[in-house]
């Protein structure tokens, strides 16, 4: 059972426009949500995170929104750049002592020049 879901396998946007990547979760026992970005032949790299007690976190062009009642989070990239083209994974950290992360399936973002 997939506890963290990214229902859109791919997204294509024009350079300069907004990219919105979505993620849904089914378990309330998460204390942090994270977004990772992955280029081909490389490992995922941390992008931005949000605590479960917040509803928004912003870092430059990247903003993550958390809607706890809907169990939904989204990553906004504004403005999108061709270098943002990558696979984006959302992840949720399990509450407790393990540091365990549950990942979504990933969304491939293509930003067209």
CB of 28 to another protein, least distance (A): 18
Site string for another protein, 44-63 (x = CB under 8 A): xxx--x--------------
CB of 72 to another protein, least distance (A): 17
CB of 98 to another protein, least distance (A): 7
Rounded Cα gap, residues 44 and 24, in angstroms:
20
Using an 8 Å Cβ cutoff, are 80 and 25 in contact? Answer: no
Rounded Cα gap, residues 109 and 81, in angstroms:
11
Which H or E run contains 66?
strand 62-67
Does 43 bind another protein (CB under 8 A)? Our answer is yes
CB of 80 to another protein, least distance (A): 23
Q: Which of 42, 44, 69, 41 is nearest to 55 (CA)?
A: 69
Binding site for another protein (CB under 8 A): 2, 4, 6, 32, 34, 36, 41-46, 49, 89, 91, 97-106
């Amino acid at each position: 059972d997939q506890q963290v879901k990214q229902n859109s396998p791919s997204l294509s946007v024009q350079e300069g426009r907004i990219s919105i990547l979505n993620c849904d979760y089914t378990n309330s026992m998460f204390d942090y949500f994270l977004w990772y970005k992955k280029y081909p032949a490389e490992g995922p790299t941390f992008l931005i995170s949000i605590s479960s007690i917040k509803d928004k976190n912003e870092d430059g062009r990247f903003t993550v929104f958390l809607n706890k009642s809907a169990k939904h989070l989204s990553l906004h990239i504004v403005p999108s750049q061709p270098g943002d083209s990558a696979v984006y994974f959302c992840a949720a950290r399990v509450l407790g002592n393990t540091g365990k992360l549950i990942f979504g399936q990933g969304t491939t973002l293509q930003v067209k020049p």
